[in-house]
């Protein structure tokens, strides 16, 4: 039954027999803006949401996995790419779907990639070739734009949702 447990302030599922409280927490997504020789790796999605739209490699973390390992695994699964993570690029929040996205800046030593099961197509794009109108999610726009802004910086703070967009839509 949903109720406010003693000492808490939010309603949560509570077992009336044993008193166990089921905490519901956000899903963590890990991904990467990956480049090779200045070109950005994007995947055309073969699954919903965003079927047929372009995105960076990203997905839900698995249990017992670090965000960096998750970002590398997703790049391998979606683009069959081996990436080298440079730094944390951004932390984006999407409250309406309870997501926290950790997006890294990464590179590929060699441009070896091909579509994985969740991708129809994988390609490298120059900045002026990015299919902006066909990107799958607002956070992909945010991450790519922040990557471009910080691409020549060795040290920078992680990007966050634009001030005008808390991720509610």
pLDDT, one tens digit per residue, over 80-118 is: 999 999 999 999 999 999 999 999 999 999 999 999 999
CB 108 within 8 A of CB 85: no
pLDDT at residue 168, rounded to an integer: 59
Alpha-carbon span 142 to 167, nearest angstrom:
11
Confidence of residue 165 (pLDDT cuts 50, 70, 90): confident
Q: Is the pLDDT of residue 169 over 90?
A: no
CA dihedral 100, 169, 41, 58 (to 10 degrees): 30
CB 159 within 8 A of CB 165: no
Q: Is the pLDDT of residue 25 over 80?
A: yes
Mean pLDDT of 3-24: 94
CB 28 within 8 A of CB 102: yes
Domain 27-150 fold: Nucleoside Triphosphate Pyrophosphohydrolase (3.90.79)
Q: Using alpha carbons, select from 89, 83, 130 the residue that is nearest to residue 108.
A: 83
Domain spans of the chain, in order of start: 27-150
pLDDT at residue 164, rounded to an integer: 76
- Alpha carbon of 1 to those of 7, 13, 61, 70, 160: distances in Å? 17, 5, 29, 34, 36
92 bridge partner residues:
101
């Amino acid at each position: 039954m949903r109720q406010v447990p003693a000492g808490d302030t939010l309603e949560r599922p509570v077992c009336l027999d044993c008193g166990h409280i089921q905490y519901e927490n956000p899903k963590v997504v890990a991904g990467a803006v990956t480049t090779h020789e200045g070109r950005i790796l994007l995947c055309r999605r073969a699954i919903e949401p965003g079927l047929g739209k372009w995105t960076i490699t990203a997905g839900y973390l698995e249990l017992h996995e670090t965000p960096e390992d998750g970002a590398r695994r997703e790049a391998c699964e979606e683009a069959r790419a081996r990436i080298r993570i440079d730094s944390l690029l951004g932390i984006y929040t999407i409250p309406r779907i309870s997501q926290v996205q950790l997006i890294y800046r990464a590179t590929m030593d060699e441009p070896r990639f091909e579509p994985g099961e969740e991708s129809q197509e994988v390609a490298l794009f120059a900045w002026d070739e990015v299919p902006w109108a066909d990107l799958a999610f607002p956070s992909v726009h945010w991450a790519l734009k922040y990557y471009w802004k910080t691409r020549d910086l060795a040290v920078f703070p992680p990007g966050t949702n634009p001030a005008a967009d808390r991720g509610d839509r």
